[in-house]
Chains A and B, each alone.
Chain A
Amino acid sequence: MVNSHNPYPATLREACMAKQKGAVPYAGGTDFMIRHAKALQTGQCPPFIFLNDLNELQGISNPDNTVRIGALATMAALSVNKEIPGLLSQACNCVGSPALRSAATLGGNICTASPAGDSLPPLYALGAQVEICSPAGRRLMPIRDFISGPGTTTLQSDELLSAVILPVNEFNEFYHHKVSPRVANAITKVSLAVAARIENKRIKKIRMAFGSVGPTIICCPQIEAACTGSSLSELLSAVPELKIMVEKTIKPIDDHRSTAQYRRSIAANLLADCIETFGNP
């Protein structure tokens, strides 16, 4: 290990500077340990910084009609915290096993930027913004712009993700379904998160995001537009067309975990299930 820096930065600023010099951030460690497993086994781990002492990255608060989630909030904490929208809680509770959830952090799940990242579809659907800090200051950006590809983000070398900001009260109906090879502790084959504002049985606003069916989380602006303004009964009768739209929007592949055909078909089924759930509460 060639840590020329303090592995336990005392301030966010110090952490950003260390990261700029090549240190890899370590938060919950659950992704870090897998990603660098080979390097760790051979004692060739890149230099790293432990973020856990940084108070700026902790905590869940409610400024200005939003929820602000510190990047170090764990999946376990998010699963049970009443301030957290249920859509996100439910998804965080689907991550790995209990012990994994008490280590894995939201910031880590976002920065790993896996299309199978379980917190991501709800964050996309809820319209989350990420707060990014650097020695120069802080900036906000929508999560969908932050994640740029499988495993890649727009984070600059001197930047750290410090928090996630969710609007609240924008939606009143939610749907989440994760399909994985076994009941618990498994990587997602396909998932769907939907947030909707439904008034008088009519869709005022809807946002949906699919996981594990493309290089990144798949957003569906065309399907959202098609749904917006419709009554629930109109939506129910439009399910066949909507399913076709889903199949055209997503970009699944064959891999060792599943097939493109399965993912395509099940993703469409999930949207149909969502609409039926909304329509027949």
Chain B
Amino acid sequence: MPFSKDEDRIDTIGKCCGTTRYVGDLSFDNMLEAVTVRSTVRRGKIKKISLPEMPDGYFCVDASDIPHQNQVTYFQDTCPYFAESEVKYIAQPIMLMVGPDLRKVRRLAQKVQIDYEEIPAIHTLDEALEGTKPPMHNDDNVYFKEDFSYGDIDGAFAGSDEIFETQTRTGYQEHLYLETQGVVAVPETGKMTVYASTQGPHAIRKALGGAFGCDEEYFRIQQMPLGGGFGGKIETPFFLAGHAAFAASKCKQPVRLIYSREEDLLATTKRHPSRIVIRSALDAKGNILGVDIDVVFQAGGYALSCRMVLDTGLKKATGVYHFPAARVLGRAVATNNPMAGAYRGFGGPQTFFAIETHMNALARKFKRDPLQFKADYFIKQGTDTLTGGKYHFHVALPETIKEAARLADYERRKKEQVQHGPILRGIGQALFSFGAPFSLGTNQPLPNRCMGLLKRKDGRVEILSELVDMGQGLHTALRKIVARALKIPIERIIYKDADTDRVPEASITGASMSVVLFGRVLKDAADKLKPRLEEPGEFSVLEKVKQPDHLQWDPVKQQGDPFHSYVWGTVIAQVEVNTLTWQVAARKIWTALDVGTPIDRRIIKGQIDGGTIQGLGYSLLESMPMDAMPASLADYIIPTSLDVPPVESALIANPYPPGPYGAKCVGEPPLIGVGPAIVDAVANACGIELFQLPVSPEYLMQKMANKS
């Protein structure tokens, strides 16, 4: 193995000491504080806005203060920075109050009177599809629709002896990064610097250029250390950066905008709720002839990234299986709800929950061992993808199953099942893959996207990259790759938080592509720098971003290889169900994961542990109504140290040749299989099928009442 030693993370000591400065810790002379005035209705037309009397030095900033266009240009669909004539969800930003004293600013914000003419609001994805309320997007409330298929799906159903159908539902999940969203915008001579807690510094710079109608280089985005991201600091920061920049531009003073936890819960993006119907066409022996999957994702008042999230979820909807025929249809629908967006797993947690729950239920129906039952349909190297591409490399799914089963002592633990008495016990499993990154339509180098290495006079090498360490350890992982390629100690590799004036555009940090794709770009850069390392002076080597040659993708026809690489994994979970209260406690979770070559096992363990527990929260605790967000952490419940079971994990070495030293990704995959594994375990304990996340005690009690 190329990386035998775990490296210390240089960010650790500052974080322990409390000296690491997050955006909320910044302060500037003459800095003003900003508070967002938000919609209090779900849907309506703004009839009248009455402002309080504004004291000297206090300002109100709204759409009329946007120099060019009131549209977050990052998004393909309409999405205003500030509502002007209509609001589409509760807590939609309408204006900012800005001034030196935060308490006074909040008082002024409170005094803004907004009169609305309310319109019947669409509360759920079901309402969006039923069409009983005035539509909010086209005639059908569908922001985006897409389908994929292969084989003779109609023939499969026509020739079937039986059709087996499941409908699964999942709810919102909040990222709940501990650091709420925040930015500080500082006007300077001929320039504006925006300090931001963001996963995409260059994307923000572009968006600001679009809103101001000016050269984006007018803006400098300094990414500050992130107190967690999980996908939640991709979309929402566009709004904060815009708002603060409009205010700073108007007031000609630094403006700080930090969300309270209440605002963060109410107004930022969440994981898309879903409703997924899967129908299997079965022959008389119970073989699957074809699978028809209907996916609906609930988006909010604006589409944001729902095209990409749905698209990615759909491409994973057939799971780790290749059926004789399959059809996948997906729709993302508009509702007057909090906006949904990118979140660790990116559509995968919903579709994998659906397919694994369907397959596990089928296995139970036929009284087959689920792993044996599912094995008949496993993807193998050379199998076609849903989109007509190929799985080009070794599929290590069977190895992950074997390893997870060994770790869990699965055969023995299956016998620990208890289906009667005060405490029920069961075991469950789920299989998953995670394709990442998305393929592009070209195998040519992307001209405007690159990574670089700066050889400094002192012999140290700085990584020039906008990729963000949001806690996942990316800086350390990429430093290790570069150090190894250059054959110099890691201490000589420097990686600073991104400053768009210093580092070129590469990508938003997300979609688990930072190591597998950009790590490779950096390795290539390092290979070029290596022979020049002893040259005097300061110089840089830039490497354009380019996807591996084996990929064929037609973005218009949506045909070919959808993803670069695939992580394979198995999760086994053991749970106990308290029949007094119908509370479910996970006793232990085992995960075996093929991440290619591990770059740093301690960092990977951190990702597996953390992703698994975030998945556990999604599976058991993190409940909220389909149509509302709790405004308090007392009501949005995430696991505490006492709620989590031990997580035992193992890595399967299955190097991915185009990745840096064979590495794939690890950020998102550990969350994917937890939901279906937990549900399978509860089903195993209780002797019923469950189709919903989270498995709240209320839901389980009701299902058990129906059983008896």
Known: A182-B639, A185-B640. A41 touches B701 (CB 8 A): no
**Most A Cβ at <10 Å: residue of B621, B630, B643:** B643
B4-12, B104-112, B673-681: which one contacts chain A?
B104-112
B580, CB-defined interface residue at 8 Å: yes
Verify B701–A182 contact, CB threshold 8 A.
no
Verify B630–A265 contact, CB threshold 8 A.
no
Please indicate the chain A residues that have their CB under 8 angstroms from the CB of B585 in the complex. 183
A262, CB-defined interface residue at 8 Å: yes
Verify A256–B630 contact, CB threshold 8 A.
yes
Please indicate the chain A residues that have their CB under 8 angstroms from the CB of B698 in the complex. 258-259, 261-262
Known: A259-B698, A270-B580. A42 touches B637 (CB 8 A): no
Verify A183–B104 contact, CB threshold 8 A.
no
Chain A: interface size category = 20 to 34
In the assembly, what is the distance between CA of A41 and CA of B260, in Å?
Answer: 10
In the assembly, what is the distance between CA of A44 and CA of B110, in Å?
Answer: 12
In the assembly, what is the distance between CA of A179 and CA of B698, in Å?
Answer: 12
Interface residues of A in 146-183 (CB under 8 A from B): 177, 179, 181-183
Min CB gap B54→A, angstroms:
16
Please indicate the chain B residues that have their CB under 8 angstroms from the CB of A80 in the complex. none
A78, CB-defined interface residue at 8 Å: no
Known: A43-B104, A187-B634, A270-B580. A265 touches B642 (CB 8 A): no
Min CB gap B577→A, angstroms:
13
Q: Is the interface of A mostly helix, strand, loop or mixed?
A: loop
Q: Which listed residue (A97, A257, A262) contacts B701, Cβ 8 A?
A: A262
Verify B697–A262 contact, CB threshold 8 A.
yes
Verify A184–B104 contact, CB threshold 8 A.
no
Verify B701–A265 contact, CB threshold 8 A.
yes
Min CB gap A154→B, angstroms:
27
In the assembly, what is the distance between CA of A47 and CA of B479, in Å?
Answer: 56
Please indicate the chain A residues that have their CB under 8 angstroms from the CB of B643 in the complex. 182-184
Please indicate the chain B residues that have their CB under 8 angstroms from the CB of A186 in the complex. 634, 637
A128, CB-defined interface residue at 8 Å: no
Known: A184-B643, A256-B625, A262-B697. A179 touches B583 (CB 8 A): yes
B368, CB-defined interface residue at 8 Å: no
Verify B640–A273 contact, CB threshold 8 A.
no
In the assembly, what is the distance between CA of A276 and CA of B587, in Å?
Answer: 26
Please indicate the chain B residues that have their CB under 8 angstroms from the CB of A52 in the complex. none
Please indicate the chain B residues that have their CB under 8 angstroms from the CB of A203 in the complex. none
Map CB proximity to A onto B620-643 as digits: 1 under 8 Å, 0 otherwise.
010111001010001101011111
B103, CB-defined interface residue at 8 Å: yes
A102, CB-defined interface residue at 8 Å: no
Q: Which listed residue (A42, A259, A270) contacts B107, Cβ 8 A?
A: A42
Known: A42-B106, A183-B643. A266 touches B581 (CB 8 A): yes
In the assembly, what is the distance between CA of A13 and CA of B585, in Å?
Answer: 51
Known: A41-B103, A262-B701. A181 touches B637 (CB 8 A): yes
Min CB gap A79→B, angstroms:
16
In the assembly, what is the distance between CA of A266 and CA of B701, in Å?
Answer: 9
A269, CB-defined interface residue at 8 Å: yes
In the assembly, what is the distance between CA of A187 and CA of B637, in Å?
Answer: 10
Map CB proximity to B onto A32-64 as digits: 1 under 8 Å, 0 otherwise.
000000000111100000000000000000000
Verify A179–B103 contact, CB threshold 8 A.
no
Min CB gap B299→A, angstroms:
23
In the assembly, what is the distance between CA of A179 and CA of B624, in Å?
Answer: 18
Q: Which listed residue (A182, A257, A258) contacts B640, Cβ 8 A?
A: A182
In the assembly, what is the distance between CA of A99 and CA of B56, in Å?
Answer: 42
Verify A42–B639 contact, CB threshold 8 A.
no
Known: A43-B104, A269-B580. A181 touches B110 (CB 8 A): no
User: Chain B residue with minimal CB distance to A262?
Assistant: B698
A-B contact pairs, 21 of them (CB 8 A): A42-B106, A43-B103, A43-B107, A97-B640, A177-B580, A179-B697, A181-B623, A182-B637, A184-B641, A184-B642, A187-B635, A256-B630, A258-B698, A261-B701, A262-B697, A262-B698, A262-B701, A266-B582, A266-B697, A269-B580, A270-B580
Closest 8 CB pairs of A and B: A43-B103, A183-B642, A184-B642, A262-B698, A42-B107, A42-B106, A181-B637, A183-B643
B residues lining the A interface (CB < 8 Å): 103-104, 106-107, 110, 260, 580-583, 585, 621, 623-625, 628, 630, 634-635, 637, 639-643, 697-698, 701-702
Known: A43-B103, A257-B635. 6 other contacts (CB 8 A): A183-B643, A184-B643, A186-B634, A256-B628, A262-B697, A266-B581
